Chain A
Amino acid sequence: MPEMLSLSNDPILFLSLMLAKILAVFIVVILIVAYATYAERKIIGRMQTRLGPTMTGPLGLLQPIADGLKLFFKEDIIPAQSSKLAFLLAPMMILVPAFITVAVIPFGGDVVIKGFAVPLQITDLNIGILYILAMAGLGVYGIVLAGWASNSKYSLLGGIRSAAQVISYELAAGLAIIAVFMLSGTLSLRGIVAAQSGSVLDWYIFSQPLAFCLFVITSLAEINRTPFDLPEAETELVSGFCTEYSSMKYALFFMAEYANMIVVSAITATLFLGGPAGPFAGPINLLLKVFFFMFLFIWIRATFPRVRYDQLMFMGWKVFLPLALLNIVITGAVVVFL
């Protein structure tokens, strides 16, 4: 077993490989974000018996680039009565947590380079999941700040809704994951992947189906995707927290939404579907799982109407939270007595 590459045994190789990994992951995430918008419009279009984009390039494939260019050249408006600094800060505060969460997701096993084992993961925190939950909690600050800084009633309502929603659903999501730790015995994502590395049946989706369902649904609510997209409910709140935003700042909110989708898909794949395990090379397996979940999210968006606000709160506190607690009790009993 070769020695693990670290800052102490070959600093130059370590730093250059670290940079390479960060760049690779960043570029892949950006590319997926760009083409997720295309895929979403295409798939939802088909599901609603429309065609989606067809005119920009072959099959409309240049649409994300055209959209990006359009948003880039739009006038950047900052409302006169807004709180300028917070208004500028909000889009960054929502995008950055979304991107840095990817740092702890393992996208393959170890590779041996120059006699050192290099893990295919930007960094392996021993509190990986705690870090992910913390970043998910930070993401909502951007939304609340955007809602407050815009000085518009729709934005403010969107921000407040988002805060209430994240508090209600983060609890259930966190409790759902606890059952996974009880089986794996570690908070490190690398450890969790290792614990599922046996056969396909070792994947936690089979031993924790309830936790899996709970986590997928609650994380949908956490990243404000339909049917839980109340913070930007078009029908009631114009565009919710991003009503007053235009140009690249609006694009950043959009990118954050899709980046969050990727992150949540990757976390779900890592926690419940064995991460990079599968028939192909590690990163490809993980990407396939991520694409599966993103398709699922798009499919859900094309199908279900938005839930009402009281239904949202009812589900969070009276359905998902008790179910997550029950799951912990059952898992605990199984772990202790079997």
Chain B
Amino acid sequence: MIKELIQGLSITAKHLLPGNSTTVEYPKQRLETSERFRGLHHLVLEHDREKCVACYLCPTVCPAKCITIEAGEDKNGKKYPTVYQIDMLRCIFCGYCVEACPLEAIEMTGEYELANYKREDFCFTKERLLK
């Protein structure tokens, strides 16, 4: 029994030596996110306008029903979303919208610091998603 007690003590003593901490001091030190990380959405640009053609596949597949789209037509007769809005308070970051999109017009970034003070600030409009 005493051998085991000493073994335990030696393990904790080894951890005491510098360089054994696994803590990431978060605000000062940030881990890099994986390429496949599902963070804040981003609408892809194509010739200074969004690639999205308002096909409604993403709001259809969205399990949280957080995407609002209103379709419109530009002067060339091309469909585009006049409104494209994601409610981040409802979004569950499942990434189905990205998978469903036939044009790869929406993608997810590594941005994860989404806390805010006001409810309205969680409503990401088209302009904010295009940034």
Contacts from A to B (Cβ < 8 Å): 43, 46-51, 54, 299-300, 302-304
**Which residue of B is nearest A51, CB measured?**
B23
B25 at the interface (CB under 8 A from A): yes
Interface hub of B8, B11, B16, B22 (most chain A Cβ within 10 A): B16
Q: Can you name 13 A-B pairs with beta carbons within 8 Å?
A: A46-B21, A47-B16, A48-B12, A48-B15, A49-B21, A49-B22, A49-B23, A50-B22, A50-B23, A51-B23, A54-B25, A300-B9, A303-B12
Interface hub of B8, B9, B12, B20 (most chain A Cβ within 10 A): B12
The interface residues of chain A lying within 8 Å CB-to-CB of B21 are: 46, 49-51
Q: Which of A46, A51, A300, A304 contacts B16 (CB 8 A)?
A: A46
B5 at the interface (CB under 8 A from A): yes
Complex CA gap A43/B16 in Å reads 7
The interface residues of chain B lying within 8 Å CB-to-CB of A46 are: 15-16, 20-21
B13 at the interface (CB under 8 A from A): yes
The interface residues of chain A lying within 8 Å CB-to-CB of B8 are: 303-304
Q: Does the CB pair B25–A47 fall under 8 Å?
A: no
The interface residues of chain A lying within 8 Å CB-to-CB of B23 are: 49-51
Complex CA gap A175/B4 in Å reads 27
Q: Which of B9, B13, B20 contacts A49 (CB 8 A)?
A: B20
B1-49 CB contacts (< 8 Å) to partner A: 5, 8-9, 11-13, 15-16, 20-23, 25
Complex CA gap A304/B10 in Å reads 12
The interface residues of chain B lying within 8 Å CB-to-CB of A50 are: 21-23
- 11 more contacts with CB within 8 A, not counting A47-B16, A48-B12, A303-B11, are A46-B20, A47-B13, A48-B15, A49-B20, A49-B23, A51-B21, A51-B23, A54-B25, A299-B13, A300-B9, A303-B12
Q: Does the CB pair B9–A303 fall under 8 Å?
A: yes
**Which residue of B is nearest A48, CB measured?**
B15
Q: In the complex, what's the smallest C-beta–C-beta distance from A190 to chain B, in angstroms? A: 34
Q: Does the CB pair B25–A302 fall under 8 Å?
A: no
**Which residue of B is nearest A49, CB measured?**
B22
Q: How large is the interface on B (under 10, 10 to 19, 20 to 34, 35 or more residues)?
A: 10 to 19
Q: In the complex, what's the smallest C-beta–C-beta distance from A148 to chain B, in angstroms? A: 35
Q: Does the CB pair A51–B5 fall under 8 Å?
A: no
The interface residues of chain B lying within 8 Å CB-to-CB of A51 are: 21, 23, 25
The interface residues of chain B lying within 8 Å CB-to-CB of A48 are: 12, 15
With A46-B20, A49-B20 as contacts: A299 and B25 at CB distance below 8 Å = no
Q: In the complex, what's the smallest C-beta–C-beta distance from B59 to chain A, in angstroms? A: 43
Complex CA gap A81/B20 in Å reads 49
Q: In the complex, what's the smallest C-beta–C-beta distance from A202 to chain B, in angstroms? A: 27
Complex CA gap A49/B15 in Å reads 6
The interface residues of chain A lying within 8 Å CB-to-CB of B13 are: 47, 299
The interface residues of chain A lying within 8 Å CB-to-CB of B11 are: 303
**Which residue of B is nearest A50, CB measured?**
B23
Complex CA gap A300/B25 in Å reads 27
The interface residues of chain B lying within 8 Å CB-to-CB of A47 are: 12-13, 15-16
The interface residues of chain A lying within 8 Å CB-to-CB of B15 are: 46-49
Complex CA gap A49/B11 in Å reads 11
The interface residues of chain B lying within 8 Å CB-to-CB of A300 are: 9
The interface residues of chain A lying within 8 Å CB-to-CB of B9 are: 299-300, 303
Complex CA gap A300/B13 in Å reads 10
The interface residues of chain A lying within 8 Å CB-to-CB of B5 are: 304
**Which residue of B is nearest A43, CB measured?**
B16
Complex CA gap A300/B20 in Å reads 19
The interface residues of chain B lying within 8 Å CB-to-CB of A43 are: 16
What 10 pairs between A and B have smallest CB-CB spacing?
A47-B12, A303-B12, A51-B23, A303-B8, A49-B22, A47-B15, A46-B16, A302-B12, A47-B16, A303-B9
Complex CA gap A63/B29 in Å reads 21
**Which residue of B is nearest A300, CB measured?**
B9
Complex CA gap A304/B20 in Å reads 20
**Which residue of B is nearest A304, CB measured?**
B8
B94-128 interface mask toward A, CB cutoff 8 Å, 1 = contact, 0 = none?
A: 00000000000000000000000000000000000
Q: In the complex, what's the smallest C-beta–C-beta distance from A308 to chain B, in angstroms? A: 15
**Which residue of A is nearest B7, CB measured?**
A303
